[in-house]
Every structure is written in C-alpha cells, then in structure tokens.
Amino acid sequence: MELNAVCQMHPNVILLIWLFVGTGCIIISPTRELALQTNEVLKKLLKNIALSHCLIVGGEKKSKDIRMLKKGANIVVSTPGRLWDHLQNNDKFNCDNLKCLVLDEADKLLEAGFEKHISGIINLLPKSRQTILFSATIDNKVENLARLALRSDPVLISVKDKQSTVTGLQQGYCICPLEYRIPWLYKMLKKTKKLKVMVFFSSCKSVDFHYEFFKTHCKASVLKIHGKQTQAKRKESFQIFVEATHCTLFCTDVAARGLDIPCVDWIVQYDPPTDPKEYIHRVGRTARGLNTKGNAVIVLRPEEEEFINFLHKEKVYLDKYNYCDPAVEVQEMLEDIILKNGVVKKLARQAFLSYLRCYKCHPLKKIFNIKTLDLKMAAKSFGFQEQPDVDFCIL
C-alpha cells in the first residue's frame, strides 16, 4: 500500500501530529517525483489545518532548504540524501520533538542504494517516535530495515489478493525480433497518439536517444523523465504529463514507484524490468482507483518468452498479443539519420552501450541472457547498419 493512498483515504492520520516546536513528522521518499507528489497531497490535506510543511529534495538550493527548516516546518517531505545532509550539517534543523517518521516505498529506498543514508538518519532521530513503513514487497533487506526502524512488536497491515495486479488492468506481451523494435514502438505510439502513455526504458541514455528521435524526427508528442536530468527539467516534465489529456512519457524506473498520475491509458515496457515486482510497479501507474481500467504491454525477444511463465509464478497473468507487420519506413529513416546526423549517432551509440550493460547485469540471466543476444541486430534496433565497437567485455 502506498503512503499517498493512505493519506487520501484517512486524512485524520495527519491530525496525529500536534503543534510543537520544530519538526514533528518526516516523510522519506525514494524519488523526487514521489516526494513532490506527497507534498502536493499535504497541501490539500492541510488547507484548513494549522500545520506547516516543506519539501526538501536534491537539485534545489540548500539555502532555500535552510530558510524553510529554520522556520520550524512541522512536516518535512524529503529524499534520503538531502535529509541526511541537513541532519549532519544544518544546526537550524530542529527535530528533537519528532513524533512520526514515515518511510515510503521502503523496498525502493533500499534498492536505490540509500541503506547508509537511511541507517544514519534513523540513528540521529529521537527514539521515542512512531515509525510507519510502507512497502509493496517484503524481502530480507526490508525486514532488516524494519528491525532497525520499528519497535520489536510492530503492527503489520498486509493486503493480499489472488493476483498481484489490479482487476481493471488488461495486460499482455508481444514477441518482437530485435531488428523491428523501433518500428514496433513507432506503430504503438501512432496507435495511442490520442491517449496517455508511459514507456519504460532500462537506462537514461536510452530515454534520451528515443526521445530525440521520436520528438524531433517523428514529431511525436513525447516528454521524458530520468534520474540524470536537472530537478527543474524533471519537475516540468512531470507536471506537464500529470495535467495532459494525451501525451507519451519516456522514462526509467524513476517513474515506476508510487506516482499517482491521473488517467494513464497504456504502460509500455519497451525494456524488461529487473524482476517481477518492478514489472508490477510499472503497470501500477495505470488502472488506479476504484472501477478504473488500463492497459499494459511488455515487448520481448523470442528468446525471452520464458519471462511470462516466470510472471505466472508471481500471480501475474498476461495475454499474448499479435505482432503486426513492422513499419519498415521508420527503420530506414532512422538508419539514414544515423549516417548523416552526428548528434543522433552519438546518442544512439551511448544508448546501445547502455542497453548492453543493463542486459549483461540483468538479475534473471537465464531468461535475459546476453549470450543469446545478436549484437548486430541489437545495434540495428538503435539505427546502426554496422555494429559499433563495444568498449567493455560482453561475456
């Protein structure tokens, strides 16, 4: 269960925080977008309540943070790195009277490599507090965090179902040969141009390349979000997509967790997720709320179809979608651009190498096996007629 959903269903949770000196509640989110969204929910909840709040995330000026914290914001919404920085170095940040600590998307907090920050934060905060931990999945790392952050006898609230995804979600998969991935995506975007779509890629470089090609050369209505963008750019793209009625967002998994974006019609997993739970988080951006519907599709190579059986074991069930004839003219256009445009060629090479690195490091190596990857065809999927040199060991 996600923090934003709980707050919206039970706004009286906020009333547990009393008026006090300094900060009484800290909410930690794994991404800037999720922190921003949580802060927006707080604005609505606290409209007629005399509690102050502030957003503290990376990418913003620390002087601005310090001014807000000096005033004694009652509720602080933050990402781990920036909060850890202020707790260590900002003597104006008074949280001696902290009553509540919220760890949102705890499994993602740990996956993102914030273990050191989270441990440090918990050790610096008052022990006599209420701690609330939200996590879609429970593994050894989350259990260790729970032992560190929670009391020895925590109250466990668990939501279980016969399947791992919501009933309003229609989901399937498409088997697509490597060399036809770009034509497939082109036809998908053309088919959904009047809808709201999120397309997930495995790397920031891949997002940049595909965004440049489809935005500039195919004139598609696309936005992009990934972790290497400035905070201002990420915030701008996120807000535009939230308010849009029809648009496509190219993104990495930075947009997979917790975000409550209205009316997303399609989730396209162009690159495979790292594991089933990441698949579930990605498709969870659609069909949100009661009686809502959404669609999702994942693109797989013929050698990767075993992933569908792997998902079945996790109570995720997909239909097989037919693969239509590819739009070969768009592939020819991309290859021509790569030959003539040095900027796009550089982006394509960076994306190609990032794709290989992600594939090489994929945890499910039996399914996503780089030894079965035809490098020439993989290069073709980025517009290269000849395979670029690979500057690292493949096997």
Measured CA to CA in angstroms, residue 5 lies from 8, 66, 293 at distances of 5, 30, 18
Token output for 132: 């609330």
The predicted structure's pLDDT at residue 86: 94
Task: Give span(s): CATH 3.40.50.300, the chain.
Answer: 3-149, 169-380
DSSP states of 139-151 as a string? -HHHHHHHHHHS-
Token output for 77: 């919404």
Report how far residue 394's alpha carbon sits from residue 361's, in angstroms, rounded to the nearest whole number.
10
Report how far residue 31's alpha carbon sits from residue 229's, in angstroms, rounded to the nearest whole number.
13
The predicted structure's pLDDT at residue 11: 45
Q: What H or E segment, with its residue span, contains residue 249? A: strand 247-251
Q: How confident is the model at residue 9 (pLDDT cuts 50, 70, 90)?
A: very low
Lowest-pLDDT range of 29-33, 218-222, 330-334, 350-354: 29-33
Nearest to 266, CA basis, from 207, 192, 202: 192
First to last CA, the chain: 40
Amino acid found at 82: R
Does 162 or 124 have the greater pLDDT score? 124
- Strand, coil or helix: 8: helix
Does 391 or 349 have the greater pLDDT score? 349
Residues of the chain with pLDDT > 70, as a percent, come to 92
pLDDT at position 28 over 90: yes
List the beta strands (DSSP E) in 62-122. 75-78, 100-103
Q: Region 6-32: what's the mean pLDDT? A: 66
312: CB partners within 8 A, 6+ apart: none
Identify the CATH assignment for 3-149 out of 3.40.50.300, 3.20.20.70, 3.30.470.10, 3.90.1150.10: 3.40.50.300
245-263 core/surface letters (b: 16 or more CB in 10 A; e: else):
eebbbbbbbbbbbbbbbee
Token output for 388: 């670029």
Does 158 or 1 have the greater pLDDT score? 158
pLDDT at position 6 over 60: no
Lowest-pLDDT range of 7-21, 176-190, 323-337: 7-21
What would the pLDDT profile of 45-92 be if each residue is shown by its tens digit? 999 998 899 999 988 889 989 988 988 899 999 999 999 999 999 888
The predicted structure's pLDDT at residue 218: 97
Report how far residue 261's alpha carbon sits from residue 263's, in angstroms, rounded to the nearest whole number.
7
Amino acid found at 112: A
Mean pLDDT in the chain? 89
Measured CA to CA in angstroms, residue 296 lies from 129, 172, 309, 367 at distances of 41, 6, 17, 21
Does the domain spanning 169-380 belong to CATH 3.30.420.40? no
Token output for 82: 């920036």
Does 330 or 158 have the greater pLDDT score? 330
Q: Is the dihedral of CA 281, 283, 286, 291 positive or negative?
A: negative
